[in-house]
């Protein structure tokens, strides 16, 4: 039996509202991937659409976790980062990359910081420039359009987009350092939405689209990115993993819409985990 893949997941815990680690853990586990966690913060809910949420910064706990792991000689097939609890955590995560990087593992950065043209209110305007430090060390970068614009200093514009706009953005994002980029929130017409992927070494660009579903569903970025990571670590190429991630995310949204669930509560991805496991 092959060795089980292992991921170090650096994300927050939102105790309600499916996102971050409460999405990452079940999706990677359904793919048979051992997932070790480094929580960056604990919130009573995520920050999208809720008020009065509690927030505990876990900055001081992060490096001691990694230091203990190193005494156990643990290695990881991927180090996968998402929501960071503070600007200071950028330097800490950069150090973690250096500590846990091996010749053949992947550093995966989902620069969770913005959506719909706006930086999350928890972050200052200097946060995107700090995230660039992590991009330089990444093997794979997974921004949405808003995050990509912030990283590149571009003005955000809502879609649909020209092909030249998307492909120039992919090229500029790869110029920040990552070997591969998957850009989400891509649309060339009003009826479809999806992702564009670039493998920088080969120059190959691929697209994965689905029919657009109206509404903003929280946590879908984490669902997409985690499914993408699961696909890559189970042997699928970047294009196939992106296609799997788009399809799984869309099915999760459709279930949620059909049930009339409050969109703040996250999407019903759990009902599709069995099917995902069979595909992977």
pLDDT tens for each residue of 90-146: 999 999 999 999 999 999 999 999 999 999 988 999 999 999 999 999 999 999 999
Domain assignment present for 1: no
Angle at 181 between CA 94 and CA 165, to 5 degrees: 125
- Helix, strand, coil proportions of the chain in percent (round to 5)? 40, 20, 40
Average pLDDT, the chain: 97
The alpha carbon of 231 is separated from its chain's Cα centroid by a whole number of angstroms, namely 13
Cα separation, 34 vs 156, whole angstroms:
37
Domain assignment present for 239: yes
Domain assignment present for 174: yes
Number of domains within the chain: 1
Cα separation, 19 vs 200, whole angstroms:
29
Both tokens of residue 241? 């993993």
- Check pLDDT > 90 for residue 152: yes
How many CB atoms within 10 Å of residue 253?
20
How many CB atoms within 10 Å of residue 126?
9
Strands 204-211 and 55-57: unpaired
Domain range spanning residue 173?
6-279
Number of H helices, E strands in the chain: 9, 11
Q: Which among 188, 39, 12 has a CA at the least distance from the CA of 113?
A: 12
Domain assignment present for 173: yes
- Amino acid 149: pLDDT: 98
- 181 pLDDT band (50/70/90 cuts)? very high
- Amino acid 11: pLDDT: 98
CB 218 within 8 A of CB 48: yes
- 2 pLDDT band (50/70/90 cuts)? confident
pLDDT tens for each residue of 227-255: 999 999 999 999 999 999 999 999 999 99
- Amino acid 32: pLDDT: 98
For the chain, what is the radius of gyration of the CA atoms?
A: 17
Both tokens of residue 92? 């800490």
CATH number for the domain that contains residue 12 = 3.40.1190.20
CB 78 within 8 A of CB 7: yes
Alpha helix segments (H runs only) across the chain: 21-30, 59-71, 88-100, 127-135, 145-152, 163-174, 220-233, 238-259, 273-279
- 12 pLDDT band (50/70/90 cuts)? very high
Q: Which among 33, 31, 41 has a CA at the least distance from the CA of 81?
A: 41
- The mean per-residue pLDDT over the stretch 205-227 comes to 96
CB 27 within 8 A of CB 231: no
- Check pLDDT > 90 for residue 1: no
């Amino acid at each position: 039996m092959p060795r089980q893949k292992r991921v170090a997941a650096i994300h927050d815990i939102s105790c309600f509202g499916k996102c971050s680690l409460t999405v990452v853990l079940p999706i990677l586990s359904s793919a048979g991937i051992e997932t070790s966690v480094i929580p960056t913060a604990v919130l009573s809910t995520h920050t999208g659409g809720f008020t009065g949420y509690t927030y505990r910064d876990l900055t001081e706990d992060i490096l001691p976790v990694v230091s203990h792991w190193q005494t156990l000689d643990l290695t990881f097939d991927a180090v996968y980062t998402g929501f960071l609890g503070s600007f200071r955590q950028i330097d800490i995560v950069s150090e973690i990359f250096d500590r846990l990087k091996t010749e053949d593992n992947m550093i995966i950065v989902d620069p969770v910081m913005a959506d719909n043209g706006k930086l999350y209110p928890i972050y200052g305007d200097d946060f995107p420039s700090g995230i660039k430090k992590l991009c330089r060390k990444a093997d794979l970068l997974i921004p949405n359009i808003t995050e990509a614009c912030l990283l590149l200093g571009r003005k955000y514009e809502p879609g649909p987009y020209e092909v030249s706009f998307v492909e120039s953005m992919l090229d500029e994002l790869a110029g920040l350092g990552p070997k591969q980029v998957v850009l989400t929130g891509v649309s060339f017409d009003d009826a479809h939405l999806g992702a564009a992927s670039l493998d920088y070494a080969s120059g190959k660009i691929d697209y994965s689209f689905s029919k657009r579903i109206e509404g903003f569903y929280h946590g879908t970025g984490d669902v997409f990115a985690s499914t993408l990571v699961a696909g890559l670590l189970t042997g699928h190429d970047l294009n196939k993993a992106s296609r799997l991630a788009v399809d799984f995310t869309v099915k999760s949204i459709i279930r949620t819409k059909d049930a009339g669930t409050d969109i703040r509560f996250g999407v019903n991805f759990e009902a599709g985990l069995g099917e995902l496991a069979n595909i992977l």
